[in-house]
Amino acid sequence: MAPIAQEEPGAPGPPARHAAAARRRAQTKGAAAPGGARVSGQSAKAARTKPRLAVLRDQALLLLGFAGGFRRSELVALDIEDLSFTDEGLRVLIRWSKTDQEGEGRTVGIPPGGHGQTCPVRAVRAYLEALEQLRVVSGALFRPLTHTGKLRRTRLTPQSVALVVKQAALQAGANPKDYASHSLRAGLVTAAARAGKSIPAIMRQTGHRSVATVTKYVREVELFAENAAEGVGL
């Protein structure tokens, strides 16, 4: 998950590490985080007592948002009907986006992860199964819960996505001020670049229309790759 201070090139990812670390590091007493942020006893207790449905929802949102390189507006606009599982993974239909004002739509493939705790396909499936137990099989995918833990019929707001990301960062011991919803999208781009994925492949996943925008991230990642000053006898 990329810090917002580095939403331009160089944003480190992926958020999966933060989500997994959050589950391991949550403690009952305060723990210092970078920048002076602290996880209070109350915050840690609230994280532990969060309704299971909210935990499953947030895991699905974080992992799907990262793997798809989605904008927060795209995530909250998803309906359950926009998802379909295949032998290869998960297909996600984005009906409308910032760069698709005409609503032509596009389908994004989400491959399964190599680790159970951070697999976006498993996370989404687990969340959908929990929704199905509540007889929710259509409509908004990511929904808010009441203070008593009951599922609402409305959608999460874009700002809610940022809060979920910040909470995950805080629980992982990072400074939440350095993270926002865009960290998911920026993190996927930089992680993919580090993995050697091509710019066209990255743009196909994220829906970026500008090669220049993606190139900024890639150039930062490749800053020390085959660096001309390396191995010249210095």
Helices 15-25 and 52-68, packing angle to 10 deg: 160
Residue 114 Cα distances to 8, 90, 153, angstroms:
28, 14, 33
Which residue in the list 23, 106, 125, 182 is annotated as catalytic? 182
pLDDT at 25 over 70: no
Q: Which domain holds residue 20?
A: 4-221
Per-residue pLDDT tens digits for 137-168: 999 999 999 988 999 999 999 999 999 999 99
Which residue in the list 72, 143, 155, 208 is annotated as catalytic? 208
* Terminal Cα distance for the chain, rounded: 35
Is residue 115 annotated as part of the catalytic site, yes or no? no
The CATH number of the domain holding residue 183 is 1.10.443.10
- Which pLDDT value is given to residue 124? 98
Is residue 127 annotated as part of the catalytic site, yes or no? no
Is residue 125 annotated as part of the catalytic site, yes or no? no
Which residue in the list 18, 57, 71, 122 is annotated as catalytic? 71
User: Quick one: CA dihedral 132, 163, 172, 150, positive or negative?
Assistant: negative
pLDDT at 108 over 50: yes
pLDDT at 186 over 50: yes
Is 230 a member of any domain? no
Is 199 a member of any domain? yes
As a whole number, mean pLDDT of residues 101-125 equals 90
> CB of 144 within 8 A of CB of 156?
yes
Copy the structure tokens of residue 101.
Answer: 């004002």
Q: State how many domains the chain has.
A: 1
DSSP H helices, 97-228, are 120-133, 158-171, 182-194, 199-206, 211-221
Nearest-angstrom CA–CA distance, 62 and 21: 13
Is 103 a member of any domain? yes
Is 50 a member of any domain? yes
Of 4-18, 57-71, 103-117, which one has max mean pLDDT?
Answer: 57-71
Nearest-angstrom CA–CA distance, 127 and 71: 20
- Which pLDDT value is given to residue 45? 52
Is 186 a member of any domain? yes
Copy the structure tokens of residue 33.
Answer: 């985080």
Is 144 a member of any domain? yes
